[in-house]
Amino acid sequence: MPIPDYQSLMLPLLKIAGDGEERGLREVTNTLAQQFELSEAEKTELLPSGTQARFDNRVTWARIYLTRALLLEATGRARFRITDHGLDVLRSGRSSIDVRFLKTFPEFVEWQNRSRTPADESGEGELPKTPAEILESSYQSLRRELAQELLERIKKCSSHFFEELVVDLLVAMGYGGSRQDAGQAIGRSGDGGIDGIIKEDKLGLDAVYIQAKRWEATVGRPVVQAFAGSLMMQKARKGVLVTTSQFSKDSIDYVSMIAEKIVLIDGEQLAQLMIDHNVGITKVASYVIKKVDSDYFGEE
């Protein structure tokens, strides 16, 4: 079943705490996963940042919201119990708890106004998102737009500029030693199927041959085969074939069957690598997300 949103977890979480016993967040998370019959894949699905499981994040925010409304109280490191207000809510027989209901509690409204959390501002028809998910979603959206803009710019550049760009990227990724050494390799091979040669490492223990194709059409198997043939003529074992478009399934299958190691980088991956390694982009702003250091409060 789909992973429940954080508001759907509020009432089940409160019910688990309804016996008045102190609870640990990990224990409650496991119990909720069983109640919602989540698969192992659903329990371990990560946020786009890869820093936390999506379900764990939603349980955490459900607990935070209930605590801010004083329906739960913190008793220690990631531990909590139900309050008298929480018991009153359970006795009322509510069928659900959401942010709209929590806004009937002055303490919650005061906290939300201070923190300005937009977690209940999802678009119509969307499942409510936690603040962390909203931040992740916004970041991914900005990144997609940036990648698209990069590709559009690259396609308007000359072929020579594109070849230089590819070398800049490989150097930024740790290949080729210095940029000066890498730059000298551009166009030196004179081979029709190779646009450049770059050292695999700073010592030059091996060479990586490069072909850069600023294409709109899908790159098919014949192009990849020709590049592989060029590598064989040079007695080379490794190559990188980069395009601004995409590769056909046949071309992808082909490189998995040959002895030479050829890495295919399509337009989308190229743009993402440029963003990851700060090639052709400039930083506008950065935000550091912090959380409480539980180890510091070890006495709790």
253-277 per-position pLDDT tens digit: 999 998 889 999 999 999 999 999 9
* 213 SS3 class: strand
**pLDDT over 90 at 198, yes or no:** no
Return the residue matching tokens 């371990």: 44
128, 122 Cβ separation under 8 angstroms: yes
- Residue with the bigger pLDDT between 137 and 191: it is 137
- Which residue, 133, 138, 135, is CA-closest to 6? 133
User: Residue 255 contacts by C-beta under 8 Å, 6 or more apart in sequence?
Assistant: 224, 228, 262, 263, 264
pLDDT for the residue numbered 121: 45
Residue 201 DSSP class: S
pLDDT for the residue numbered 225: 92
Enumerate the domain spans of the chain.
10-118, 152-276
6, 119 Cβ separation under 8 angstroms: yes
Task: Give the pLDDT band of residue 189 (cuts 50, 70, 90).
Answer: very low
Q: Lowest mean pLDDT: which of 123-132, 152-161, 289-298?
A: 123-132
Quick one: what percent of the chain has pLDDT higher than 70? 86
Angle at which helices 54-68 and 25-35 cross, to 10°: 110
Task: Give the pLDDT band of residue 122 (cuts 50, 70, 90).
Answer: very low
pLDDT for the residue numbered 30: 96
Each residue of 228-261: pLDDT tens digit? 988 888 888 899 999 999 999 999 999 999 888 9
Mean pLDDT score of the chain: 85
pLDDT for the residue numbered 100: 93
Which of 109-113, 128-132, 217-221 has maximum average pLDDT? 217-221
pLDDT for the residue numbered 71: 97
- Residue with the bigger pLDDT between 189 and 76: it is 76
226, 197 Cβ separation under 8 angstroms: no
pLDDT for the residue numbered 190: 47
* 225 SS3 class: helix
Task: Give the pLDDT band of residue 179 (cuts 50, 70, 90).
Answer: low
Burial (CB count <10 Å: 0-12, 13-18, 19+), residue 25? middle
> From start to end of the chain, where are the E strands?
23-24, 72-76, 79-82, 196-199, 207-213, 238-243, 261-265
**pLDDT over 50 at 124, yes or no:** no
Q: What is the CATH number of domain 10-118?
A: 1.10.10
pLDDT for the residue numbered 294: 73
CATH architecture of 152-276: 3-Layer(aba) Sandwich (3.40)
Compute CA distances 121 → 3, 26, 125, 128, whole Å: 19, 28, 11, 7
The one-letter amino acid code at 248 reads: S
Same CATH fold assignment for domains 10-118 and 152-276: no
User: Residue 124 contacts by C-beta under 8 Å, 6 or more apart in sequence?
Assistant: none
Q: What is the dihedral of CA 231, 232, 238, 239, to 10 degrees?
A: 20
CA 264 – CA 202 distance, rounded (Å)? 22
CA 300 – CA 205 distance, rounded (Å)? 55
Compute how many other C-beta atoms are within 10 angstroms of the C-beta atom of residue 188.
10
Which of 76-85, 196-205, 208-217, 272-281 has maximum average pLDDT? 272-281
CA 210 – CA 43 distance, rounded (Å)? 41
